[in-house]
């Protein structure tokens, strides 16, 4: 008997293609250490064929294949050979373990284990000391014995070896899959393939800090984990990319977005997906070859109002790797995206994103909104505005990679006026022996309030022009003079009101003076 799969099977969904990528990666991880009785599988760019000795039954063959595909470490962490996580990447393995236990294996019966928790020492970012991360050790998990599928069940009492005519697809195979009056059913070959979906998917731990509008205000606290399902287009390239990324040394992995423990802790599903796609792009450049995928599906798992007992799909978003302002996200992720560890009262640590900006940018890009949409919601409170000011250097790096000409014109004009305004404040502080920093703090807060309280396009345009005129003492401002038609059309257009408001706040926070700070370099 043989198991044969083709990537271009017309009945396949994104889940089947991703699962086939997971199976291909697992086969590559075996190298020459094949399960007993299993022949060398045939692996091509668009297909997989597995055969075995006639002396063993189909059930025995599948059981041996599963034993070689789904393992545990000595610390009772889930070990998937097809993910190629090295021995020095225990922190990444821990993040994967936690993510899988929240998604594919959320029910205790699918991962029976110890009653208490174990702790893992995670080195601090600065290398000084360790933070204790707790996790649930497992003794086994569903995929090791195809639990819930019926593949390895006895068809009749005392009869083994034959596969059932129909298999079942439990939630441990496809997270969030809902059953009706009857369980989801499939052929045995399809059920076996879908077990490998867990191998190809990338799981993240979610700590949402922003939301997509007032209607979603409560959902931000309910999302707990995210499953990123890749749209696999080439099995060989995908397997190579999956093998390349986690196998890099520890220092190199720190440069990636999603291949450390802290890298797997993000704000939202869109941030998770774009982080993974950015890392795949990095592998594509490093290997000078394709990554083997064409976008992905990001599925956030969390509590919903109609089910208090388990986590379900709360968000499902389709993403691709090419967006006009994708560099803004990558820069935000590079400078603001590193998560941090917070110590709890019992001495253990809890990871949180360092800034909500990458989460917001990713959500905007995925929804085809302007990259800066809803930025005002991050700074609507004074304490949030002051907190955001600590990320000024990272915001400034984001401003440098903006492509849109309208955005650049507005930001440059405002920042030139702000630079001249700071010069005036500096002169006043020097002449009157006042505290320059205090004057700056008061002026920034006044500007924030004035921008947020302006409710119409005409009022905001008038405020902006007065601000520029006050900075130049009536003279024309160079950036406005050079882009007069563009800026005039933009600031008076009602359709750009929200965008204009967000850009002004971003420009205020992203300004860095000539000396690398937010203060005027000419201050005495």
Contacts of 135 (CB under 8 A, 6+ apart): 77, 94, 97, 98, 117, 118, 119, 120
Task: Over range 368-386, report the average pLDDT.
Answer: 95
Work out the pLDDT band at 290, boundaries 50, 70, 90: confident
- Classify residue 183: in a domain, yes or no: no
Enumerate residues 6+ apart whose C-beta is below 8 A from 29: 81, 82, 84, 243
pLDDT (0 to 100) of residue 520: 46
Task: Return the pLDDT at 213.
Answer: 46
The predicted structure's pLDDT at residue 32: 87
Burial class (CB within 10 angstroms; exposed 0-12, middle 13-18, buried 19+) of 340: middle
Rounded CA separation 97/119 (Å): 13
- Is residue 423 assigned to a domain? yes
Number of other residues whose CB lies within 10 A of the CB of residue 113: 18
CA distances for 401 relative to 258, 278, 324, 510, angstroms: 22, 16, 11, 13
Mean pLDDT of 202-222: 65
Nearest to 296 by CA among 317, 315, 310, 311: 317
- The per-residue DSSP string of 477-513 comes to PHHHHHTHHHHHHHHT-GGGHHHHHHHHHHHHHH---
What are the pLDDT digits (tens) for 166-206? 999 998 999 877 666 677 899 999 999 999 999 999 999 99
Pick the most confident of 186-200, 269-283, 506-520: 186-200
Q: 451 with 509: CB under 8 angstroms? A: no
The pLDDT value given to residue 322: 82
Please provide the DSSP assignment of 364-378 as one string: HHHTT--TTTTHHHH
Q: What is the mean pLDDT of the chain?
A: 88
Domain that holds residue 439: 405-510
Domain count, the chain: 1
Lowest mean pLDDT among 138-152, 171-185, 260-274: 171-185
In 3-state terms the chain splits into helix, strand, coil percentages (rounded to 5) of 45, 20, 35
**CB proximity list for 374: less than 8 A, separation 6 or greater:** 210, 212, 213, 360, 364, 502
How big is the chain, counted in residues?
A: 524
Q: Where are the beta strands (DSSP E) in 64-105?
A: 71-72, 78-79
Confirm whether 346 is domain-assigned.
Answer: no
pLDDT band, residue 237 (cuts 50/70/90): very high
Bridge partners of 156?
159
User: What pLDDT sits at residue 299?
Assistant: 93
Task: Give the sign of the dihedral formed by CA 240, CA 241, CA 242, CA 248.
Answer: positive
The two structure tokens encoding residue 147: 């639990």
Residue 449 lies in a domain: yes
Nearest residue to 29 via CA among 291, 189, 178, 247: 247
> Is the per-residue pLDDT at 522 higher than 80?
no
What burial class does residue 14 get, using C-beta atoms within 10 Å of its C-beta: 0-12 exposed, 13-18 middle, 19+ buried?
middle
pLDDT tens per residue across span 239-248 = 998 888 776 6
Residue 499, domain member (yes or no): yes
Q: How many beta carbons lie within 10 A of that of residue 253, not counting itself?
A: 21
- List all residues 6 or more positions away from 299 whose beta carbon is below 8 Å from its beta carbon: 175, 176, 226, 227, 228, 229, 269, 313, 315, 316
Phi, psi of 41 (to 5 degrees): -65, 150
Q: How far is CA 207 from CA 106, 109, 457, in A?
A: 18, 26, 35
- Residues 88, 250: contact at Cβ < 8 Å? yes
Residue 110 · residue 141 · CB < 8 Å: yes
Q: Confidence band (pLDDT; 50, 70, 90) for 343?
A: confident
- 453 in a structural domain: yes
Does the residue 84 lie in any domain? no
What is d(CA 69, CA 63) in angstroms, rounded to the nearest whole number?
A: 10
**What digits encode the pLDDT tens for the residues 76-125?**
999 999 999 988 888 999 999 999 999 999 889 999 998 888 988 887 65
Q: Is residue 417 part of a domain?
A: yes
Q: Are 319 and 295 in contact (CB under 8 A)?
A: yes
Mean pLDDT value across residues 266-276: 94
* Window from 275-289, 290-304, 372-386, 417-431 with minimum mean pLDDT: 275-289
Please give the Cα distance from 385 to 4 (Å, whole number). 57
């Amino acid at each position: 008997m043989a198991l044969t799969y083709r990537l271009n099977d017309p009945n396949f969904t994104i889940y089947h293609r991703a699962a086939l990528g997971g199976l291909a990666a697992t086969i590559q991880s075996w190298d020459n250490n094949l399960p007993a009785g299993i022949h060398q599988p045939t692996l091509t760019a668009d297909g997989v064929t597995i055969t075995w000795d006639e002396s063993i039954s189909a059930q025995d063959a599948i059981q041996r294949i599963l034993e070689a595909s789904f393992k545990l470490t000595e610390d009772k962490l889930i070990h998937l050979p097809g993910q190629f996580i090295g021995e020095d990447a225990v922190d990444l393995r821990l993040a994967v373990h936690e993510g899988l236990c929240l998604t594919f294996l959320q029910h205790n019966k699918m991962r029976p284990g110890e009653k208490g928790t174990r702790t893992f020492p995670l080195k601090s970012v600065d290398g000084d000391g360790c933070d204790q991360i707790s996790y649930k050790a497992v003794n086994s998990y569903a995929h090791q014995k195809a639990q819930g599928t019926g593949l390895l069940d006895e068809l009749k009492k005392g009869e083994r070896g034959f596969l059932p005519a129909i298999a079942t697809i439990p939630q441990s195979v496809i997270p969030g899959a809902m059953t009706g009056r009857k369980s989801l059913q499939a052929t045995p070959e399809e059920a076996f393939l879908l077990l490998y979906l867990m191998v190809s998917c990338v799981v993240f731990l979610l700590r949402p800090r922003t939301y997509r509008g007032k209607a979603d205000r409560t959902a931000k606290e309910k999302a707990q984990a995210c499953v990123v399902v890749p749209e696999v287009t080439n099995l060989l390239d995908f397997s190579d990319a999956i093998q390349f990324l986690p196998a890099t040394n520890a220092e190199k992995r720190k440069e990636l977005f999603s291949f450390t423990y802290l890298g797997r802790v993000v704000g939202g599903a869109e941030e998770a997906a774009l982080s993974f796609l950015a890392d795949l792009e990095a592998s594509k450049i490093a290997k000078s070859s394709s990554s083997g995928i064409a976008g992905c599906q990001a599925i956030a798992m969390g509590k919903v109002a109609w089910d208090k007992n388990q986590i379900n799909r709360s968000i499902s978003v389709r993403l691709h790797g090419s967006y006009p302002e994708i560099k803004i996200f990558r820069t935000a992720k590079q400078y603001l995206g590193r998560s941090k560890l917070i110590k709890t009262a019992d001495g253990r640590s809890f990871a949180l994103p360092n800034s909500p900006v990458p989460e917001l940018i990713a959500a905007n890009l995925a929804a085809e909104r302007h990259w800066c949409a809803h930025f005002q919601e991050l700074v609507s409170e004074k304490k949030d505005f002051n907190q955001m000011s600590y990320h000024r250097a990272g915001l400034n790096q984001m401003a440098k990679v903006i492509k849109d000409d309208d955005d650049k014109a507005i930001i440059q004009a405002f920042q030139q006026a702000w630079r001249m305004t700071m010069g005036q404040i500096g002169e006043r502080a020097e002449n009157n022996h006042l505290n320059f920093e205090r004057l700056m703090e008061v002026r920034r807060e006044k500007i924030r309030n004035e921008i947020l309280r302006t409710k119409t396009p005409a009022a905001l345009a008038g405020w902006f022009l007065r601000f520029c005129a006050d900075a130049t003492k009536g003279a024309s401002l160079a950036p406005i003079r050079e882009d007069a038609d563009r800026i005039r059309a933009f600031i008076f257009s009602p359709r750009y009101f929200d965008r204009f408001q967000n850009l002004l706040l971003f420009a205020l926070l992203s300004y860095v003076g000539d000396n690398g700070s937010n203060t005027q370099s000419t201050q005495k």
